[in-house]
């Protein structure tokens, strides 16, 4: 039986997620006839506002993401997401809101996993410290201080990813497009999509 599949690509700012997905969508057409794929590219922006406004924005971002995925499965067999609610959990420093986002994310993913095969990939940045800093500065057009860059690189490791995903054990760390394509074939042979 063909199983609809949700693939989520995570990683810190400028790890190369969007570049990888753009390259993938342009250069790899590996589906059998009738399989439709949707790539949802999400721009997650940390808000510079008071704590309440910031967290209202985060909650809206999480629920909008979920609604896009559910709607996407009306017409597509495969959805690949550049980021997910995990981003909001990882990037939130406030323990109270981190707990709220974590519970909401768990409930949303529990609902998704009842109907779809869900697989997480965490893209670990292959570049050096200086290359990473240069990419962040180029993309965001501002200087990044050393403390913030170190925090980004720690976030990239997503050491506590399993804690936030609870029962979701489908996590694979990748470093480039070759890893992603290999994993893509593997997932779709398991789910009947290839």
Q: What are 145-173's pLDDT values in tens digits?
A: 666 666 555 554 555 555 555 544 567 77
Residue 11, in any domain of the structure: no
The domain of 165 spans 17-126+155-191
Residue 179, in any domain of the structure: yes
Residue 145, in any domain of the structure: no
Residues sharing a CB contact under 8 Å with residue 166, sequence separation 6 or more, in sequence order: 106, 109
Count of domains forming the chain:
1
Pairing between β-strand 5-10 and β-strand 171-174 as defined by DSSP bridges: unpaired
Instruction: Please report, rounded to a whole number, the percentage of residues in the chain having pLDDT higher than 90.
Output: 6
**Higher pLDDT pick, 194 / 109:** 109
**Higher pLDDT pick, 60 / 184:** 60
Residue 42, in any domain of the structure: yes
* Two structure tokens written together for 136: 């962040």
Average pLDDT, integer, range 167-188: 73
Mean pLDDT of the chain: 75
Residue 132, in any domain of the structure: no
Residue 169, in any domain of the structure: yes
Residue 141, in any domain of the structure: no
Residue 133, in any domain of the structure: no
pLDDT tens by residue, 46-83: 667 788 888 888 899 899 999 999 999 998 888 888 88
């Amino acid at each position: 039986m063909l199983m609809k599949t949700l693939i989520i690509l995570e990683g810190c700012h400028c790890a190369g997620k969007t570049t990888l997905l753009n390259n993938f969508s342009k250069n790899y057409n590996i589906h059998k006839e009738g399989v439709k794929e949707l790539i949802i590219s999400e721009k997650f922006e940390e808000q510079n506002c008071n704590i309440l406004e910031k967290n209202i924005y985060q909650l809206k971002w999480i629920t909008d993401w979920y609604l896009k995925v559910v709607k996407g499965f009306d017409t597509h067999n495969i959805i690949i997401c550049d980021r997910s609610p995990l981003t909001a959990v990882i990037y939130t420093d406030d323990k109270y809101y981190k707990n709220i986002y974590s519970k909401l994310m768990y409930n949303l993913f529990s609902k998704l996993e009842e109907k779809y095969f869900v697989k997480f990939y965490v893209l670990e940045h292959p570049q050096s410290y200086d290359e990473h800093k240069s990419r962040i500065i180029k993309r965001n057009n501002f200087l990044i201080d050393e403390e913030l860059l170190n925090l980004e690189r720690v976030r990239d490791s997503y050491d506590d990813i399993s804690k936030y995903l609870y029962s979701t054990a489908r996590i694979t760390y990748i470093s480039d497009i070759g890893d992603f394509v290999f994993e893509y074939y593997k997932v779709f042979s398991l789910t009947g999509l290839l």
